[in-house]
Amino acid sequence: MHSPTELAEKFREKQLKLTPQRQLLFGLLHQNDSHPSAESLFEVASKQMPGISLRTVYQTLGELAEMGELQLVDVGTGAKRFDPNMTDHHHFVCESCGAVRDVEIAAKPKMRGGSGKFVISQVGVVFHGRCENCVPTAKRSPAQQAKK
């Protein structure tokens, strides 16, 4: 995702309204790796700007997704999440606390059977488990315990 300043310029170029509310959202999303839902982003934004509406949050997120600045992610937890990381990656969901993290896999997919020729239009792999904060200390390796 581009910086808040670059997003403001893109909105101007597309003749979209550039409001203080939208600029706040740009800032909250920039380098945000928490994969927020619209509702959680609204909760944070409304503490900083009490008059912001949930509709503004949804509309801004939708426009950013249309512009290719965000991707909509369904990790199977109910609410759609928004991810400003536009690189190819997958996701991990903690079954205990609900945290969502990016996962990168370096291997290229291989089709078994058939000619092996195919075009991938979208990949959606979601890993489920427990994050480092939710795994009981006794079950962690010494290396994992040292990271705490």
CATH number of the domain located at residue range(s) 87-147 in this protein:
3.30.1490
Q: In angstroms, rounded to a whole number, what is the distance separating the alpha carbons of residues 19 and 56? A: 10
**Continuous H helices in 67-126:** none
CATH architecture of 4-73: Orthogonal Bundle (1.10)
Q: Are 55 and 46 in contact (CB under 8 A)?
A: no
Residue-wise pLDDT tens for the chain (148 aa)? 899 999 999 999 999 999 999 999 999 999 898 899 999 999 999 999 999 999 999 999 999 999 999 988 888 777 889 999 888 888 898 988 888 898 888 777 676 776 667 777 777 788 889 999 998 754 555 555 555 5
Check if 4-73 and 87-147 are the same fold.
no
How many residues would you count in the chain? 148
Q: What is the separation, in whole angstroms, between the first and last Cα of the chain?
A: 30
pTM for the whole structure: 0.73
Where do the structural domains in the chain lie, given as residue ranges? 4-73, 87-147
